[in-house]
Structure 1
């Protein structure tokens, strides 16, 4: 049975937030009441947001961006809501889980990376273009501690907001990879999914070893040597 129940019938989503991070106050039980219409994923059924809802949405994303940058992807969502001037229920109505909020925060970076991928399609050196783009991914992932781990876990959940966010990234990366493979610079059996997972793993390793600023570049170089045709 659909846990959301019949259309328009309220249901309760429960959870526990860890408020010990980002200035929180320990674990907080959260019960968020919503309607199935508000949480439906079909864009055709989503009602346009009111002006106040749009303002709340923008404030939540802005505060989440600051929190994730300062305290990592595990920053307290309760404090994000408080700093945005709304209740935790409002946050959950806009973003049903942490990955949804991370996806919204990461959207700007995705736009930048997609634009960069389009530019690099004109690079006369296909392999160099691919490496440049992968380095850009590592740089963006490093802006939010814990994002690389979240991106890696999201690939195992197609319903995740982060997984949906990664779809355009796979398409952009596939085009760059195909050029490198056609040029004979990368083995034909390499997939963009595997390559992005390796890139996220490198970003995670660099995040865990801040005392070695050259680690990411070194690991990426080693990885690409193993991918050469």
Structure 2
């Protein structure tokens, strides 16, 4: 009987994480916990037993997604052309913002301070982003005054584009304009 309870508990936990990932992606980090429990097919008591606080649930849901965020820089660094790697990095980052409201809010608000795992993943992602930036600058393709913190500014601005535009692809135009402003044109 104890094995069945553990299997049920594991199944409930997995269902809660899957439901939370979907609900946070659709509605952001302030999404209804009742909706998460409903979509998972469990009661609120089960949700709170598995994840006593919203922060606990957020940390569990986004730890895996933050690993993907870390991999963005790693992938960009494998691109032979440093500028193309930088463009691919920013494009994927903005695409994530456009498709996952919860992760977008987490990245823009830097809501990592209460979870060591997320804070460590963010630090690793930031080191990778810095390397992507320096590599594009060393190739003479990215403005010398661009710094990693500028990515946060761009993401905040992109969050505004996503919130205020009726066109769900408006972020692509915004990114194109940003990239034109960041690129060093060697032939001028």
Q: What band does the TM-score fall into relative to the shorter chain?
A: 0.7 to 0.9
Greater helix content: 2
- Alignment TM-score, normalising by the size of structure 2: 0.73
Q: Distance in 1 between matches of 2:131 and 2:9?
A: 37
Corresponding pairs, count? 178
Task: State the partner residue of 1:67.
Answer: 23
What are the within-5 Å matches in structure 2 for residues 53-202 of structure 1? 53-145=9-101, 147-154=103-110, 158-160=113-115, 163-195=119-151, 197-202=152-157
Contact in 1 for aligned 2:73/2:128 (Cα 8 Å):
yes
Q: Distance in 1 between matches of 2:49 and 2:122?
A: 23
Q: CA deviation at 1:225?
A: 4.3
Q: CA deviation at 1:217?
A: 2.5
Q: Deviations over 1:131-186 (max 9, x none)?
A: 2111111112222335423422225x622575454233213212211211221223
Larger relative contact order (CA 8 Å, sep ≥ 6): 2
Greater strand content: 1
* Aligned alpha-carbon RMSD (Å): 3.0
Question: What SS class does the counterpart of residue 101 from structure 2 fall into?
Answer: coil
Question: What SS class does the counterpart of residue 200 from structure 1 fall into?
Answer: helix
- Compared CA separation, residues 146 and 119, structure 1 to 2 (3 A): closer
User: Mind listing any 5+ residue stretches in structure 1 that lack a counterpart?
Assistant: 1-49
Task: State the partner residue of 1:24.
Answer: none
Contact in 2 for aligned 1:61/1:101 (Cα 8 Å):
yes
- Compared CA separation, residues 213 and 84, structure 1 to 2 (3 A): closer
Contact in 2 for aligned 1:152/1:200 (Cα 8 Å):
yes
- Alignment TM-score, normalising by the size of structure 1: 0.62
Q: CA deviation at 1:114?
A: 3.3
User: Mind listing any 5+ residue stretches in structure 2 that lack a counterpart?
Assistant: 1-5
1:219 and 2:174 aligned: yes
